Chains A and B, each alone.
Chain A
Amino acid sequence: MSNGAILPLRLADVSFAAGGRTIIDRVSLEIETGPSTIILGANGAGKSVLMRLMHGLLEPSAGRIDWNAPERPGAPRKQAMVFQRPVMLRRSAYTNVAYALKIAGIPEPQRGALVRESLESVGLSHLARRSARVLSGGEQQRLALARAWALHPEVLFLDEPTASLDPSATREIESVIKAFDAAGTKVVMATHNLGQARRLGDEILFINQGRLVERAPVEQFFSKPQSVQSAAFIKGELPWT
């Protein structure tokens, strides 16, 4: 899976408009392997739309989005995404993860080991046979992580994965993300939570009103923000958009 690496990802002057409104406004950036990238911004700044543009769920209205190597249709995906609310099939936790492998075309005999490994990595092995949709919010989100990671993607997008969870579930999710990051997966995560950004991020991409305002390593961003909006946001003074 390492030949034809899909990173780096290049966005060139990408804009996205819907319903007459410009949601993403001429964003240019490059995502490279290595440090975990946090897309930080207030609610409504455009983080979710930006994530979906990068992941390919949305088409930009203008500009280009280029991966280093294009994904072949029908081949297993090298990028995965975890959404704010996990969407599980009406089947067991095990089967939900196996489903991702099935779609990727992994032959049936090989799936079992991969599924078990994934469930193990998020601490859900004991719930493998449980029906996925009756698990708690935190457990479902861990399952979503297991499913996303089962194919060992090069890039893992996470769109505010803990926004709907309580603090203890949040801690569990964060530790899993840290583990994946340590294992070499490129983590790109959107959040509005400053503490989380500091805990998990290596670099910050600060988005405000659809524009990329600032990009800096995490400590630098928090101690010496370069723009007025960044400073205001860190202080919690940025208005809702």
Chain B
Amino acid sequence: MSEALTAALALLVGLDAKLIEIVLLSLRVSLSAVAIAALLGLPLGAAIAVGRFPGRQTVIVVLNALMGLPPVVVGLLVYLLLSRAGPLGALGILFTPSAMVVAQAILILPIIAALSRQAIEDAWREYEEQLRSLGAGRMDAALTLLWDTRFSLLTTILAGFGRAAAEVGAVMIVGGNIDGVTRVMTTTIALETSKGDLPLALGLGMILIAIVIAVNAAAYLTKELAQRRYG
């Protein structure tokens, strides 16, 4: 085990080319996914937060529940969509990074929407009277709150990214774990471990943990700095 650890550290320090390729692909996939999920999820969360419509409570409950979507299930559903035998097969993106981005975006969209909804609704409670007094309509209010809660929302986005970067079920199924094409940190760890080949798995595991820690630290620091600067 200790030789595996030493070998892992050697890969890290030596900036092994394969390792770097895998890490970069992972970052590219998860960052794209979180960007898409944020573009769709933040406005959705804001709309639900300030909106009043029949069934609103149900929507909120369902959205919160979808946060717990199992990644493998998302992977399966997206696979069925993108398979040649499925409705979107003609897109031909199955077993490419694009399919992985789609699957992860679907996975974290509920997280971003639900958490932003909560943050914006809390802010709306504080701001509603004042904004209405100034003559702001619901649309103005939603946009204003989106910007005003930007630090909470950044934390939400970081949470979404962390979830995407750490999952293996969805990307494994829709990506196919193809060497050099769709192999990311999590799927490589799964593969190498099943082969009993630990150094690469350990090396990637350490990087993944480092990323998770960095993301959480960033979220914490954001909140602290924002509080101090903006109140």
Contact = CB atoms under 8 A, between A and B. Distances in A.
Interface string B121-134: 00000110110111
Interface secondary structure of B, over-half rule: helix
A87 B129 contact: yes
Interface residues of B, number: 18
A103 B134 contact: yes
Contacts of A147: 134
Given A57-B132, A57-B133, A100-B134, A90 B126 contact: no
Given A83-B130, A87-B127, A89-B148, A104 B230 contact: no
A81 B144 CA distance: 19
A55 interface: yes
B152 to A, nearest CB: 10
Given A133-B230, A134-B230, A134-B231, A81 B133 contact: yes
A112 interface: no
A216 interface: no
B75 to A, nearest CB: 39
Contacts of B195: none
9 closest A-B pairs by CB: A133-B231, A87-B130, A90-B230, A134-B231, A77-B135, A81-B133, A131-B230, A103-B136, A90-B148
Interface of A: 52, 55, 57, 76-77, 80-81, 83, 87, 89-91, 99-100, 103-104, 131-134, 147
Interface of B: 126-127, 129-130, 132-136, 140, 144, 148, 150-151, 226, 229-231
